[in-house]
Amino acid sequence: MKIDMSPAAVSTRLRRASQLRELCLALAGPRLKRPWGVPALPLSPPTVKEPPATYRPTSGNVPDPDANSKTR
């Protein structure tokens, strides 16, 4: 099997290799934006804001414990 080394065939192979490289870079996304050898940043758990200690719901089906304290 002979490899076609005509100028048109070489140009086609180079064009396809370039398109494949661009596709791989697009699929890799931001992972390739950091320099080679730099480890990935560790994923930290999302921060959750806790409601204040004096939080009391004012609407919905949750009864206010102070309003009915004498009925029980």
DSSP alpha helix (H) spans, 1-72: 7-28
Q: What pLDDT, in 10s, does the model give residues 5-25?
A: 999 999 999 999 999 999 988
Q: Indicate yes or no: pTM above 0.75.
A: no
pLDDT in tens, the chain (72 residues): 898 999 999 999 999 999 999 998 888 877 777 677 776 666 676 677 776 667 666 666 566 666 655 555
